[in-house]
């Protein structure tokens, strides 16, 4: 086959990195390698492949739980976009989070975690880590004095979301990373809400970057997947943990995420454009108490967001209508275009009512025509007393 390049631009690499025509059939799209095992001509060849794979060579295939060519294509693509040496894909975002924490924490260690994170991440650090004698301290990552004060001699990791779920606070990642590294700790950034087309946390000091690839990387609401990127020396223990915990990704899911990532820069731009328009629309309506969106000057972290994101602030926003839970339900239950759903990052706009979080509404803005979205939100607001 002729020599090929991935290009240098992010949009070009989103399309080309990690993928080549299949060397056997010349199929242009990466195949789904739907196989549990791989065949060898000799016993010695098998043994060599197993040895290499268990030294965490991601291109030595003997069993798909440990390594698969479709999964590897996705790993190489994400590593390229993140500016990382390596990446490992797993069965879900929480598989990526848990494998990362368990790979780099042991009994007696201490974790600093953002005090507002995804609900199941919270379950992990409130219930599972303490059972393993791992101490956890939640801290407001936007309060650098509190972050500094929370470190102990046992602190090994800092885990934060680049935009907290659901109120979208943005910690100064450069400053948090500087503090953590001064204390000899690693920084893990969950960048699910932005994705590498908008923010690359390793450029701001993070050591490892986690994504629920289910969300923006996939972008079409049809795959469950997780990825972690970073230096190979940090990824190898996570790859081992993913293997030993049986958290391997499905090649079919990786095929779907590969397809989705190719359009990530386009979707990120359109979603950001739509979300900013909707945030401004909602903030101007008297039936809305407040709107939290990094692109609005009213956001408490707007200055930092502008510095690291430029003029594209992502497609997530959170707001609260008047009328408490009744107002929230009146709004969400009368929408005709936007569906109620608990996920995010889809090309479809999804509305997530959260009565237990103060009757707030999380909006994952999709790629529809913004005029249609404004019309639908206007309809919902017309039922808010």
Q: What digits encode the pLDDT tens for the residues 67-108?
A: 999 999 999 999 999 999 999 999 999 999 999 999 999 999
- Is residue 1 one of the residues assigned to a domain? no
Residue 97 sits in the same domain as residue 219 = yes
Residues 291 and 376 both lie in one domain = yes
Q: Flag whether pLDDT at 65 surpasses 80.
A: yes
139: confidence class by pLDDT, cuts 50, 70, 90: very high
The reply to whether 24 and 71 lie within a common domain is: yes
304-320 residue pLDDT tens: 999 999 999 999 999 99
Candidate from 1-5, 152-156, 351-355 with smallest mean pLDDT: 1-5
Count of CB atoms situated within 10 Å of the CB of 91:
19
Same domain, 53 and 149: yes
Q: Do 204 and 59 form a contact (C-beta atoms < 8 A)? A: no
Same domain for 198 and 304: no
Output the domain CATH number for residue 116.
3.40.640.10
Cβ(150)–Cβ(122) under 8 Å?
A: no
Same domain assignment for residues 203 and 54: yes
Q: What are the two backbone dihedrals, phi and then psi, of residue 371, each rounded to the nearest 5 degrees?
A: -60, -35
Query: Of the candidates 229, 261, 293, which is a domain's last residue?
Result: 261
Structural domain count of the chain: 2
Q: Do 163 and 207 share a domain, yes or no?
A: yes
- Residue 2 inside a domain? The answer is no
Other C-beta atoms within 10 Å of 315: how many? 32
Domain enclosing residue 211, as ranges: 10-261
Q: Is the pLDDT of residue 119 over 80?
A: yes
Say whether 186 sits in a helix, a strand or coil: strand
144 and 132 assigned to the same domain: yes
Note whether 203 and 288 are same-domain residues. Answer: no
- Indicate the residue among 234, 261, 288 that finishes a domain: 261
Q: What is the pLDDT of residue 266?
A: 98
Work out the burial of residue 183: count CB atoms within 10 Å of its CB; fewer than 13 is exposed, 13-18 middle, 19 or more buried. Answer: middle
The 10s digit of each residue's pLDDT in 209-228 is: 999 999 999 999 999 999 99
């Amino acid at each position: 086959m002729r020599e090929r390049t991935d290009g240098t631009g992010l949009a070009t690499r989103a399309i080309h990195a990690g993928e080549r025509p299949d060397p056997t059939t010349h199929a242009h799209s990466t195949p789904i390698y739907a196989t549990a095992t791989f065949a060898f001509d000799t016993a010695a060849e098998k043994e060599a492949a197993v040895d290499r794979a268990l030294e965490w060579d991601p291109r030595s295939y003997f069993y798909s739980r440990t390594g698969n060519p479709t999964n590897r294509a996705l790993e190489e693509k994400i590593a390229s976009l993140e500016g990382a040496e390596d990446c490992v894909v797993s069965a879900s975002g929480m598989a990526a989070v848990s494998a990362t924490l368990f790979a780099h924490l042991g009994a007696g260690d201490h974790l600093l975690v953002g005090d507002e994170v995804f609900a199941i991440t919270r379950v992990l650090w409130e219930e599972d880590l303490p059972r393993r004698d791992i101490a956890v301290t939640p801290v407001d990552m936007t309060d650098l004095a509190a972050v500094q004060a929370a470190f102990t001699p046992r602190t090994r990791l800092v885990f934060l979301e680049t935009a907290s779920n659901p109120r979208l606070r943005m910690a100064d990642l450069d400053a948090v990373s500087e503090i953590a590294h001064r204390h000899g700790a690693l920084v893990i950034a969950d960048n699910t809400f932005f994705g590498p087309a908008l923010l690359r946390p390793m450029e701001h000091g993070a050591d490892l970057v986690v994504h629920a690839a289910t969300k923006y990387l996939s972008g079409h609401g049809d795959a469950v997947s997780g990825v972690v990127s970073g230096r190979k020396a940090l990824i190898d223990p996570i790859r081992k943990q993913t293997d030993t915990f049986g958290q391997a990704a499905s090649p079919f899911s990786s095929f779907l995420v590969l397809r989705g990532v190719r359009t990530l820069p386009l979707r990120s731009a359109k979603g950001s454009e739509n979300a900013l328009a909707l945030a401004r629309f909602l903030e101007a309506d008297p039936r809305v108490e407040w709107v939290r969106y990094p692109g609005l000057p009213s956001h408490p972290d707007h200055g930092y967001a502008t510095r690291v994101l430029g003029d594209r602030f992502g497609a997530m926003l959170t707001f609260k209508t008047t009328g408490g839970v009744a107002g929230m339900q009146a709004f969400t239950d009368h929408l005709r275009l936007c569906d109620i759903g608990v996920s995010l990052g889809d090309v479809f706009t999804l509305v997530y009512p959260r009565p237990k979080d103060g009757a707030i509404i999380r909006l994952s803005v999709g790629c529809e025509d913004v005029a249609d979205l404004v019309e639908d939100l206007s309809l919902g607001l017309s039922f808010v007393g």
